[in-house]
Amino acid sequence: MPATRPDKLPPIDVGAWVRVGARVQGIYDPKKLDDQRMDVIYGELHLGGKVMKNVGVTLNLNANGLAKQAGIEDAIVAFDFDDAFHLWAGQLLVTVDRSNLAGPFFMIPWNYPGFFTVGTNTVVTAPKEGPSGRNAGMVVWGDFADGMFKYMAGAFDSGDVTQAPLYSGRLNLALMDKEPGFWGNASYFGEKNIFSVGVGGQFQREGSTATATPPAMAPTPADYGEVNADVLAEFKVGGGGWATGEAAYYHFTGSNDAIKDAFFVTGAVASPQVGAGNIQPMIRYQMGKGDNVKVWSLDAFLSYLVKGPALRATLGFQHVDLDHDVAGNAVQLGAQAIFF
């Protein structure tokens, strides 16, 4: 018999995630509900495993059916030295706020926060992120006390050699049930009692461009900065239901950032089990404000959840106001399925 046995590595994890959605909204007048179209056809293929005991690899692919685009979402080599110290490199999530770490599959609202769209007009009040919230870079992160406290710090590269790196980080404190691991949730769908607070920030040298004065002059680069804070409270209630409250605040610096301050507030209650799942009404208000603009939106949805996020169907209404008499109303129908 050998003196030591080789480590037996776990099998490769394979998962498939899909979201589809439709929208009722006017094409020529977005305030009217007189036209309909598919809004989302999106899928992800997830692959991950261990090369050695402390070295892992993740390859996630995604595809947008409406845009006819497909590509690499995550490509990560993970060095997991200790619970308190991990080094991950490749293309991965920009570590800044709870919403980006959770993604649309693991949050209660159907629409990802921080993007206000009416027709072809979009105002963004989210931190800097690449496609699907990812970018090329390196992240060091770690858990203490089994996930009671978590730190994350990364440097990211957009691929443009003329730009300075984007530095992004986050701290999270879970005061009830713990939140270990890199990937995040904006809801645990009744599996935990959660009260967590987090703070994050970003900085990029000359990461924004000042408006030229007078207009004929060339624009002047300015440093980009962002700070945010968020809180998530989710508690189990009798009969297998749960109640959720989430709030987040963002402050941006940079001379050409239209929005200086933004926030959202979400509230939801899931019923005890009805049939195979839970009925969950939710409401979310978002607002962003700058020197010359104020944008806001209201989402009100009713969802049916089977095994939490694994199978979800939702129907709701969204109103978006971009100021200056640009507004839109939409009725949305969506469904998502996750095979882990």
Q: What CATH number does the domain containing 173 carry?
A: 2.40.160
Our count of domains for the chain comes to: 1
Residue 122 resides in a domain: yes
Domain extent at residue 194 = 85-339
pLDDT of residue 162: 80
For the stretch 146-204, pLDDT in tens is: 999 999 999 999 777 788 999 999 999 999 999 999 999 999 999 999 999 999 999 99
pLDDT of residue 213: 47
Give the residue from 230, 210, 293 showing the smallest Cα distance to 258: 293
Residue 303 DSSP SS3: strand
Confidence band of 216 (pLDDT split at 50, 70, 90): low
Residue 22 resides in a domain: no
Residue 26 resides in a domain: no
Give the residue from 323, 320, 280 showing the smallest Cα distance to 299: 320
Q: Residue 51 to residues 10, 11, 54, 108: CA-CA distances in angstroms?
A: 10, 10, 8, 34
Residue 101 resides in a domain: yes
Separation of alpha carbons 168 and 150, rounded Å? 14
Name the one residue in this structure whose structure tokens are 């713990």.
178
Residue 222 resides in a domain: yes
Residue 54, pLDDT > 80, answer yes
Give the residue from 61, 65, 22 showing the smallest Cα distance to 41: 65
pLDDT of residue 163: 86
Own/partner pairs, 315-319, CB within 8 angstroms, 24+ separation: 316/110, 318/111
Residue 70 resides in a domain: no
Residue 322, pLDDT > 80, answer yes
Residue 128 resides in a domain: yes
Residue 212, pLDDT > 90, answer no
Residue 253 resides in a domain: yes
